[in-house]
Amino acid sequence: MGSLFRGEQTEVSGSEILSTLLGSEVRGDLLVLFHRNPGLIDTVDGVARRIGRTTVAVISEVRELLELGVLKQKRIGASEVVYLDRDKDRELLESVANHLKTLRVGEER
Amino acid sequence: MASRVNESGWNGPHGTFEPVSGSLSPDQRFAAENAFSSVLASTIREAVGDALGRNVLEILTLKGLLDATNNSKEFDSKLRSLFGNGAAVLEKIVVKDLNRKLGIRYDSEASFDYEKSLETAWGVCFVESKLK
């Protein structure tokens, strides 16, 4: 499988980061998978199997997380693999936390 | 005894939800509700922490969101006020983990209802406590 993402990451707000991270059920599953296994390095096929999904269902969701920067991609031998960028992940979740601090529980978004 | 149950344990959407015929003694029911409440609260903390990290979990705790875990309707409403559509994604993560702990199959293709999913899980917990 070729590279999923080659673009530059642009600066995004905590609100936008949150919307991207929780943009779909599959993305939620991917976040939990990589946070529970922060050293995980696997192909998209492998990642899909680990969360009980098909590659087709996962590929666009992985691409979203690559574009956000929470996941990174590299080539190992003949395979393209994805893994968690721990520093970027920490930075993004900090932005989300700061965004949530500004919200009041009970107010409609 | 009913007020004791509602104050301390699982307070589902219908309050008097009784998943199967037959009954536990008030003390047994109280214990079952507390056990379920405890599993649910820890599952929510794990799910939110694993999805969004400890800092976010800490903020939600400070905002009192995790105080509402026993009332699925209130929890859902508070979660939506913070996460919008993302609340459903977090709720699905919670239900998946809860179902795994209780040995209930999760069908990601089926339509999702947080309250109903918790009712099902509570039903399983209730039946298991009757069998003990």
Q: Which domains does chain A have, with CATH numbers?
A: 14-100 (1.10.10.10)
Summarize the confidence of residues A23-31 as an average pLDDT.
Answer: 97
Question: Measured between CA atoms, how close is A60 to chain B, in angstroms?
Answer: 17
* DSSP label of B124: H
Residue of chain A whose Cα is closest to the Cα of B57: A97
Q: Are B68 and B75 in contact (CB under 8 A)?
A: yes
Contact B81 A28 (CB under 8 A): no
Residue A81, pLDDT above cutoff 80: yes
B101 touches chain A (CB under 8 A): no
The candidate with the shortest Cα–Cα distance to B81, out of A64, A13, A102, A68, is: A102
How would residue A4 be classed by pLDDT, with cut points 50, 70 and 90? low
For residue A9, pLDDT beyond 70: no
Whether B58 is covered by a domain: the verdict is yes
Strands A41-42 and A79-84: antiparallel
Task: Give the pLDDT band of residue B126 (cuts 50, 70, 90).
Answer: confident
Asked whether residue B40 is domain-assigned, the answer is yes
B86 has pLDDT over 50:
yes
User: Nearest C-alpha of chain A: how many angstroms from B89?
Assistant: 5
Minimal Cβ distance to B90: which of A22, A103, A106: A22
Query: What tokens appear for A92 in the block?
Result: 């993004």
Q: Are strands A41-42 and A71-76 parallel, antiparallel or unpaired?
A: unpaired
Edge-first strand listing for the sheet containing A41-42: A41-42, A79-84, A71-76
Mean pLDDT value of segment B37-66: 94
- Smallest Cα distance from A76 to chain B, Å: 27
User: What's the pLDDT score for residue B130?
Assistant: 64
- Which residues of chain A lie closer than 8 angstroms to B60, CB-CB? 100
Q: Which of A22, A27, A31 sits opposite B83 (nearest CB)?
A: A22
Select the more confidently predicted residue: B131 or B31.
Answer: B31
Nearest-angstrom CA–CA distance, B98 and B106: 10
Chain B environment of A86 (Cβ under 8 Å)? none
Higher-scoring residue by pLDDT: B32, A44: A44
Q: What's the whole-number mean pLDDT along residues B75-99?
A: 95
Mean pLDDT of A67-96: 97
Decide the pairing of beta strands A79-84 and A71-76.
Answer: antiparallel
Query: Are B121 and B99 spatial neighbours (Cβ–Cβ below 8 Å)?
Result: yes
Residue B108 confidence (pLDDT) above 90? no
Mean pLDDT of all residues in chain B? 83
pLDDT for position B4: 46
A22-26, A53-57, B87-91, B99-103: range with lowest mean pLDDT: B99-103
Q: List pLDDT tens digits, range A29-73.
A: 999 999 999 999 999 999 999 999 999 999 999 999 999 999 999
Report helix, strand or coil for A28: helix
Residue B8 has pLDDT above 90, yes or no: no
Mean pLDDT across the stretch A69-80? Answer: 96
Domain region containing B39: 23-131
Q: How many domains does chain B have?
A: 1
Q: A22: number of CA atoms within 13 Å, CB side?
A: 26
Q: Using the predicted structure, report yes or no on whether residue B17 has a pLDDT greater than 50.
A: no
How confident is residue B32, by pLDDT bands cut at 50, 70 and 90?
Answer: confident
Determine, for residues A109 and B80 on separate chains, whether the beta-carbon distance falls below 8 Å.
Answer: yes
* A9-37 average pLDDT score: 93
